[in-house]
Structures are given as C-alpha cells and as structure tokens.
Amino acid sequence: MATESFETQLATEVAAWRREGVIDARAAARILGRYGHDVAELEREVQGAARGRSATIFGTAGALLVGLGVILFVASNWQTMERAARIAVLVGALALSAGLAFALRQSGHPRIGAALVFVNTLVFGANVFLIGQTYHVRVGDPLLFLLWALGAVPMALVSGSRPSMFIGLAALLAWYGSLIADWGAWRGPHPLVAPSFVGIGVLYLGCARLAESTRQGRPFALVMAMTGLSVSFITIGALTFEFVWRRVGESFFSRPSDVAPEFAWSVAAILVSAAVALVARAWRARWSRAAMLESGGLFALAAVTLLCTVFAPFDTAAAYAVLFNVIALAAVAWAIQMGLATGRESFINSGLALFAILVIARYFDFFGTLFDRSLAFVGAGILLIAGGYGLERSRKVLLARARAGGAADAP
Amino acid sequence: MRPSLLRIGPATAFWVVVALQVLGVLSFAAVKEVGFRIGREVVLATVPVDPRDLFRGDYVVLRYEVTRLEGCFLGVGSAVYVPLRERDGTWVASGPASASFETAVDRGDVVLKGQVSQRARTSCDVTYGIESYFVPEGTGRSIEGVRGKLKMRVVIDGLGNATIKELLLP
C-alpha cells in the first residue's frame, strides 16, 4: 500500500513532469487517478505555472523596452534639455521604476514586480552613463562601471533579482577590464590578463558555492556560478588560438615593464581571493569528494594558466595553443564529470558549450584557409547541424544521468 | 527574538537601496557640477588624431597638445601633475610634469592632473579624463573636418581634475 509520503512525493513529481512537458495531461490523470489524487488541482497548478512563465517573459521583455526607451529619450534629447532637467528625468525614472516594482510586489504580482526591479537596475545604469555623458566623462572610465555595480548588486540582494545580480557581476567584470586598460594591461595584451580573468571566474564560482550555504545567498548561487564558469571558459577558449599567444608573446618580450605595478598586485589579489574561496568552499562541504573535485579542478585551471604565462616554458605560440586546446578539453571533461557527480546541469551545459566553441574554432583554424570561403561556410553549417544533433542527444542523456545523480542546481 | 537596531525588514532594505541609488547618482552629478562652478577655466589646444579614431558613434576622441609630455619618466598608471600657463589665449605646459602636486604648483598658474597611459624612452602619454566629447547624433562628421584646429574649454578644480565645458570651433 502506498504511504502518504510516497503519494505526496508522487504528486510533486507528476506536477514537475507536467510543467516540463515530460508527460501530457492524460498520462498525468491516469497516474494520479491510481492513487485518488485531484487531477483538476494539478492542471490548475500547471496552468498557473505556465501563466507565471508567460508573465515573466512578457514582463522582462517589457522591462527591456521601457529601459531602452528611457535611455533613448534622454540620449536623443540631451542636447536640447538643460543639465538639471536631464538629471531630473533620469532620477525620476529611477524612483518611478523602484516605486512600481515595490507596489507590484506588495500587491501580489511578484513576477512583474521582479521585471520592474530589472528595469530599475537598467535605468540606474542609464543614469550613470548619461550623467557621465552630460559631463563628457571619458568613454571607458572605470568609475562608471563601478557605480553601476554598486547600484545593481545591493538591489539584487534586497529584492532577490537574479537578472540584476547578473548585471552587477558583469559590471564588476567590466570595471576590472577598464581599470586594467588604464594600467596598460590590454596593450599586447599583457600575459597576466588571462590568469586574472580565469581567477575572476574561479572567484565567482567559489563565492557561488559559499552563497549556496546561506539563505540570503542561495537564490544567486546559480547566476554567480554560471557567470564564473563562462568567464573562465571563455578565457581558456581564447587561449586556444595561436594568434592570441603570438600577440601576448610580442607584448611580453617587447615591453615587459610598460604596465602599471598595480596590475600585478590586482592579479595576485584576485588569485589569492579565489584560492581562499575554494578552500572555504571545500571546508564548508566537509572536504567531500565532489567539493574537492570541483575546487581541485578550478585550482588546476587557474594554476596552469598562471604558470604558463609567468614562466613561459615554450618558444612558439603554436605550442601554447596546442597545450591550451588540451587544457580546454580537460576542462570540458571535468565540467561534465562534475555535472554527473553533483547533478548540476549548469556544469554539463557549460562543458558542452565550451566543446562546441572549440570544435567550431578549430574547424575555422584548420579548414578556413584550405577551402574556398563558401565551401568553408557550408562545411561549418553542416558541422553545426551535426554537432547540434549530437549535443542534443548527448545532453539529454547526460542531464538524465545528472538528475538521477541527486543534487541539482540551486534555483 | 532579540530586537536589534540593525535588523530591518525587506521593505525598509529595499527603500534604503533605492535611496542610496538616488544619492549615488546625485552625488556623481554634484561633484561634477561643483567642479564646474568653482574650477578655473582654461582653453586647451587639441592635436590631430588618426581620422579613423576621431569620431566614433556619438563622441569625438580628443588628443591634446599636453597629451604627450617630453622628459617624463614616470611609469604607466602613475598620477602626473602638469603645470599650465596661458600663452596667446591657450594654456600650455609651463614646466616639466611632476609626480607631486606641490612641485607642479610652483611651476605654473594651474595644475592639471592626469595618469600616464603609455611610456616611450624619454616621453610619456597622459590621459586627463577629458578625451571624449559627446556630440548630437549626425554632427560628428562636421567636426572631423576641422580636426587639429579644435580647442576645448576645460574647467580644472583645486585638485587638478578636469571637466570639459565646451568645444571651441575655429
């Protein structure tokens, strides 16, 4: 005889299968009917979730349009408007978006309210950049990105908005990118740029895992982890190109000292912070196998990138490119293994995305110059379609195995 | 549960953040506005830049006569203070740049603060935060035609920070 807890669990699972489209309404009715459950209630819940998704999609699309509209309005009329009027319009839009977001959340419309919080974050960014433009602040001034991040991250924390957190994390990344540009690190670029960005990715990921263990931080763990993985993998992906290493080499050997000393200190600070976050994460997880595999993999990724760029063991750019192709493939295997071991779909998706990027990049590397351009594109198209088919098949299998594995990504 | 002054509800926290956002934006504008009103106006001459770089979208890229400083041996990223003095209506460097504000003050009437962006053997390039001038859409091409003859009216505050006030066409 079925126990009450089994029936509750079954009802929850069936509701999830319906929402995800795994089974249709008839199958759900037949399964639940066997245990005397109210099928109509389940359908109401499924339709409610679908409406919620639609509300989120429409709300976010509307949010983007409103944000864009405010930016365009001020940008188009800034010459004719007085400085004070310009600032009044911008600050008014900021307060209005916050007020509407608050009112909607309070009146039981959390999804549209969340979309308005996102509008607030975008309008805050518009405020910063358009006021900067009003006073002709230099394009690429790091202060602008820092201010945006300082407005976005606290708003995300108090409202639980993941899109706002993503904007905040991206703005912090842009702040660091523009800061090191002022320090002369992008000319070349300097060899330490790569380890610094891999380090930032690892730091975001370590912080995501730490956030997961707190009630306030849990909603942001996934967006932090995905941003971190993306930053690290995109940097590793860039290092698989021979021409990148050629430029790094030219920069390193021609002007090794043409960069501010603050840059090296910033890289050291990032890497030490990332290492501390990884150790803290493993410690919080009681040195579990999964935590050690995750922390160890990330540590190895950052360490290899740092060692290769600091000690420059090879003479040719091609050797570095080959090495980083091997490292990137190892990163793919590690991410998929991590996804399977911990049930985190984000790892599997990131690993497969990096693999797809590697395949396309190497295709153009090797065949782009050999074939006629039209043939190269036709080949790339066929490769993409075949790759998409293969990825879809393998992704389904991997995700099913990951889900069966237990733990999942934080919501 | 023990009451605490620091324990605030989600609604209060939300409005505190909104207040900080508004305060941040207004402070940013206020700092620039105050500099505008109390600073000293100077006119700086620009020099031609690569035409591909002069006008990008809705802003003009500017390079000044004081962008390249001869006899400058400071490292990239270092703060640099350039003494200025008026000559024929335009302000020019009146002595060697220095890493110290006090030293530069003795060498000119106004001191302009910058940051070394690039270094050569005996000179360095400096950015002053006034290298972008935003123009209404579609008007940039007319400015491109007079590149090298442009002058900029700039306001410099007591610490040497500069803000563009207006573009002076020849």
pLDDT one-digit tens code per residue, B73-89: 888 888 999 999 999 88
CB B148 within 8 A of CB B46: yes
Q: Give pLDDT tens digits for A292-317.
A: 888 888 889 999 888 888 777 788 88
Q: Give pLDDT tens digits for A344-371.
A: 888 888 888 888 888 888 877 776 666 6
Question: Is omega for the bond preceding A256 within 30 degrees of 0, making it cis?
Answer: no
pLDDT at residue A67, as a whole number: 73
Q: Which residue has the higher pLDDT, A51 or A188?
A: A188
Q: Among partner residues B18, B75, B76, which is closest to A95 by beta-carbon distance?
A: B18
**Measured between CB atoms, does B33 come within 8 Å of chain A?**
yes
**Measured between CB atoms, does A184 come within 8 Å of chain B?**
yes
Q: Give pLDDT tens digits for B27-63.
A: 999 998 988 888 999 999 988 676 555 555 578 888 9
CB A190 within 8 A of CB A200: no
CB A231 within 8 A of CB A173: yes
CA A86 to CA A71: how far, in whole Å?
11
Output the six-digit token pair for A314: 């090879």
Q: What is the DSSP string of A34-46?
A: TTT--HHHHHHHH
For residue A189, pLDDT over 60 is answered with: yes
**Measured between CB atoms, does A83 come within 8 Å of chain B?**
yes
Would the pTM count as exceeding 0.95?
Answer: no
Q: What is the mean pLDDT of chain A?
A: 82
CA A32 to CA A43: how far, in whole Å?
12
**Measured between CB atoms, does A151 come within 8 Å of chain B?**
yes
Q: Do A139 and B119 touch (CB under 8 A)?
A: no
Q: How many residues does chain B have?
A: 170
CA A246 to CA A362: how far, in whole Å?
17
For residue A163, pLDDT over 70 is answered with: yes
Any idea of the CA torsion for A355, A360, A366, A368, to the nearest 10 degrees? -170
pLDDT at residue A1, as a whole number: 44
Query: Smallest Cα–Cα separation from A145: which of A176, A118, A116?
Result: A176
* Cα dist from A347 to A26, A196, A409, whole Å: 34, 21, 9
Q: Do A131 and B15 touch (CB under 8 A)?
A: no
Instruction: Give the DSSP H or E segment for A103.
Output: helix A83-106
Instruction: Give the DSSP H or E segment for A182.
Output: helix A162-182
Q: Among partner residues A128, A258, A263, which is closest to B119 by beta-carbon distance?
A: A258
For residue A227, pLDDT over 90 is answered with: yes
CA A272 to CA A330: how far, in whole Å?
23
**Measured between CB atoms, does A276 come within 8 Å of chain B?**
no
Query: Cα distance from A155 to chain B (closest Cα, Å)?
Result: 6
Q: Do B24 and A147 touch (CB under 8 A)?
A: yes
Q: Which site among B21, B123, B161, B165 would you substitute to test the A interface, given the most A Cβ atoms closer than 10 Å to its Cβ?
A: B21
Question: Could you tell me if residue B77 is left (phi over 0), alpha (psi between -120 and 50 degrees) or otherwise beta?
Answer: left
CA angle A353, A358, A360 (to 5 degrees): 95
CA A344 to CA A353: how far, in whole Å?
15
- What percent of chain A is helix, strand and coil (3-state, nearest 5)? 80, 0, 20
Q: Is the sign of the CA dihedral A80, A83, A85, A88 positive or negative?
A: positive
CA A175 to CA A334: how far, in whole Å?
30
Q: Which residue has the higher pLDDT, B143 or B113?
A: B113
Q: What is the DSSP string of A189-232?
A: T-TTHHHHHHHHHHHHHHHHHHHHTSTTTGGGHHHHHHHHHHHH
For residue B3, pLDDT over 50 is answered with: no
Which residues on A lie below 8 Å from B129 (Cβ)?
137-138, 141
Distance of CA B55 to the CA centre of its chain: 18
Q: Give pLDDT tens digits for A252-285.
A: 666 555 788 899 999 999 999 999 999 998 888 8
Distance of CA B27 to the CA centre of its chain: 18
Q: Using DSSP, state whether B74 is helix, strand or coil.
A: coil
CA-based nearest residue in chain B for residue A93: B22
Q: Which residues contact B55 (CB under 8 A, 6 or more apart)?
A: B61, B140, B141, B143, B144
Output the six-digit token pair for A409: 């990504």
Q: First CA to last CA across chain A, in angstroms?
A: 34
**Range with the poorest average pLDDT among A40-54, A255-269, B4-18, B144-158:** A40-54
Which residues on B lie below 8 Å from A95 (Cβ)?
18, 22
Q: Using DSSP, state whether A268 is helix, strand or coil.
A: helix
Instruction: Give the DSSP H or E segment for B81.
Output: strand B79-87
Q: Which whole number is the average pLDDT over A95-114?
A: 87
Q: Do B77 and A183 touch (CB under 8 A)?
A: yes
Q: Give pLDDT tens digits for B92-113.
A: 999 888 998 988 988 889 999 9
Q: Do A137 and B20 touch (CB under 8 A)?
A: no
Say how many C-beta atoms besides its own lie within 10 A of residue B21's C-beta.
26
Q: Using DSSP, state whether B67 is helix, strand or coil.
A: coil
Which residues on A lie below 8 Å from B127 (Cβ)?
138, 182
Query: Smallest Cα–Cα separation from B143: which of A83, B151, B41, A136?
Result: B151
CA B97 to CA B126: how far, in whole Å?
10
Say how many C-beta atoms besides its own lie within 10 A of residue B9's C-beta.
8
Output the six-digit token pair for A117: 């919080």
pLDDT at residue A157, as a whole number: 92
Query: Smallest Cα–Cα separation from A399: which of A315, A321, A342, A316?
Result: A342
Q: Among partner residues A94, A137, A187, which is closest to B25 by beta-carbon distance?
A: A94
pLDDT at residue A98, as a whole number: 92
| Residue A218 dihedral angles phi and psi, to the nearest 5° | -55, -40
CA A348 to CA A77: how far, in whole Å?
47
| Residue B156 dihedral angles phi and psi, to the nearest 5° | -115, 125
Q: Which residue has the higher pLDDT, A174 or A112?
A: A174
Q: Which site among B7, B15, B23, B25 would you substitute to test the A interface, given the most A Cβ atoms closer than 10 Å to its Cβ?
A: B25
**Range with the poorest average pLDDT among A27-41, A253-267, B123-137, B143-157:** A27-41
Q: Give pLDDT tens digits for A53-86.
A: 676 777 777 777 877 777 777 666 666 778 888 8
CB A173 within 8 A of CB A199: no
Instruction: Give the DSSP H or E segment for B42.
Output: strand B40-45
| Residue A259 dihedral angles phi and psi, to the nearest 5° | -150, 145
What is the interface pTM, i.e. ipTM, of the complex? 0.85
Which residues on B lie below 8 Å from A87 (Cβ)?
25-26, 29
